[in-house]
Chains A and B, each alone.
Chain A
Amino acid sequence: METAEFRAGLVRWLDEHLTELEPPFVGEGTLGEQMEQLSRVKRALFDAGWMRWGWPESVGGLGGPPMLRAVLGEEVTGRDLVVPGFFSMTEILAPTLAEFAAPELAREEIPKLLRGEAMWCQGFSEPGTGSDLSSLSCRATERDGHWVVNGQKLWTSLSQYASRCVLLTRTGSAESRHRGITAFFVDMDTPGITVRPFALMNGAPEFAEVFFDDVVVPADRILGDVNGGWAVAMNILPFERSTSFWHRTAYLANRMQQLVERAPDDVHSATVLGEAFQMLYAMRARSRLTQYRLAEQGALGAETSIDKILVATAEQQLFDAARELVPGLVELDDSPDGERWRSEYLYSRAATIYGGSAEIQRNIVARRLLDLGPEA
């Protein structure tokens, strides 16, 4: 299946089924409504086959180039059918599971994720471990052929909805840093796991802290090697910044279209819109090359930090523009539309924080791409 052919068929199908796929709620909806909508859309896309293209048959897919998944997410998020970050979660975790999990586990779990029956979460950050990921301390200890996990995760998105978690644990000595980390694929209904969601500044309880208290995990749920978890984590990050960012540009373009339709017709407005569009376009142009590189090389590296910096810049500039050009939209508007803009504006402030902060990205560019040697 070629990209253009796939897109043409998909667009036709989406146009035919748009009314039934559109969210039943007005405005942004609650987190629960968004999650229900996500499952519903994924299910419909899976049943029609679209969600299966670009995935290997070994994990329940229909084959074809992975780039088809970029096109799918673009068309779906560009039509405002689902929250892009939630939809793209599949892109962030499933390729890594396909690569590091036992084949039968991947074959069992990935189709459920694609079909919208399951949600996964990513247990990386901890209270004491933000940017400095390799300092994590949530511990896994081997006991009678199982592993027992004790500790805490933080910022674990959507973990209250998740049935599985890709979890990073400390298995080496406290000082072992990235050499002593092991990744697990954990069932969230295992006894000993407690999830406590908390509200973000936009009011949505999207994140949670997750507590692990003598949580028993079978040894066949290890991803990759014991003490080889750093490779798993590093494998995830570039995926997070390729396909899913392509989806995000489509979502941002949709929001920009809404803004363009209502922005005032004057020189100031033209300047602000033009600057915002330029950054969105820069992100899109960059991400386009990244998709081609991923298709060619099958893997990506430090250069995706550039994509991360550009997407954060574009996102914040777009919502800044909305606030600037429609006075009160963010601060005063209590209509469902206004509440959505307010929520998105506030959420966009985190674009330079989550998934590796703006500072960490610049550190990576300096060290790995500019080859400036180690920092003082």
Chain B
Amino acid sequence: MEADERELLDKSVRHALVSAPDADDALDAIGWPDVLAAEPRDAVSVVFGALGDLNAVASSLDDVLLDAVGATTASGAAVALPAFGAWDPPGVVSGGALAIDGLAFARSARRYTVAVPARDGDQVIVAIVRTEAIERTLIEGIAPEVGMSKLRAGAVQPVVTETLAPHAWDDVLLAGRRALATELVAIGRAMLRLAREHALTREQFGRPIAQFQAVRHRLAEAYVALEAGDAALDAAWDTPDPMTALLAKSLAGRGARIAATHSQQVLAGIGFTEEHPLHRYVKRALLLDGLLGSSTRLPREVGVTLLATRQLPRLLDL
């Protein structure tokens, strides 16, 4: 995508996210799902970058996951995500019935069907289930504005099921983790921006606190951690595979976590209130970090792979 095209997309996405009554409809109207199919890297960077930056709410992850699932039957459905902190498919098929333990974005309240990725023996399938057949509980949680729901079902009959290609779940995780990583880095950068502005204007001992090395080094630490997340994200686009996407999600989550810690400390009292916007970013980062594997849990998964193979994966090439 050309730079000016991308800028235009960014502008209209941001407009859709802040001013439309329903962000999902507005993104549909500007053709985001088509852009996602045609130019996934730009599409994901722009939409999830804007979501993070603006602390906006949309169910765009559903679109990314559906696109990766690639099942025609799933078109138009909301998507069931793995349970919080987990990354196994949210559904399990046994004896022809489907059990579900997962999460969903707000879109699930407005769609008649939910696409539930599920394990069926050795296979991964996507089961299309009527929304009303699932026990759906709205979650207030730490970020109520996101409108997430908990999905549960003991034994439900899907409307239709479709068997996915052997590596389809890896593809779904890859796409989802890249999108969440993009949003987490953007949230981290937004927090750092707020902390920087505060440091330059807040005066103590007769000078802006940005002049104190203790403050400067905290902000530098956050900046470096976010750059590491960003670099990993770039690698996950240039060399897409399950490991690069996992590391992008983990390093982006780590960047957001470090940015949250230091920004919170630099913003001090005001950053601890609802008067200042920081808290919304802090809370959103905590929520997104837990989706599809957290930055505190995923490194162990890397280690498990290292110990199973006793072999370092080939590092990124030039």
Contacts and interface: CB of A to CB of B under 8 A. Distances in A.
Interface stretch (A21-29, A216-224, A281-289): A281-289
Most chain B CB inside 10 Å of its own CB: which residue of A70, A257, A365: A365
Interface string A275-312: 10110111011101101100000000000001001100
Given A362-B221, A376-B212, A274 B231 contact: no
B299 interface: yes
A278 B312 CA distance: 11
Most chain A CB inside 10 Å of its own CB: which residue of B224, B234, B310, B318: B318
B303 A274 contact: yes
A-side binding surface: helix, strand, loop or mixed?
helix
A375 B211 contact: yes
A201 interface: no
Interface in B198-229: 199-200, 207-208, 210-213, 216-217, 219-221, 223-224, 227-228
Contacts of A274: 298-304, 306
B303 A270 contact: yes
Contact of B306 (A250, A260, A373): A260
Interface residues of B, number: 43
Contact of B224 (A261, A273, A309, A367): A309
A265 B250 CA distance: 22
A277 B313 CA distance: 10
Contact of A285 (B221, B235, B254): B235
B300 A281 contact: no
B196 interface: yes
Interface in A243-281: 246, 249-250, 253, 256-257, 260-261, 263, 265, 267, 269-275, 277-278, 280-281
Contacts of A269: 303, 307
A270 B306 contact: yes
Most chain B CB inside 10 Å of its own CB: which residue of A271, A281, A375: A281
A199 interface: no
A372 interface: yes
B299 A278 contact: yes
Given A278-B250, A286-B227, A310-B224, A372 B216 contact: yes
A370 B207 contact: no
Interface in A214-250: 246, 249-250
Contacts of B219: 366, 370, 372
A244 B90 CA distance: 45
Contacts of B217: 359, 362-363, 366
Contact of A278 (B220, B247, B304, B318): B247
A369 interface: yes
A275 B307 contact: no
Q: Which 6 A-B pairs have the closest CB atoms?
A: A274-B303, A270-B303, A274-B299, A366-B216, A376-B211, A365-B220
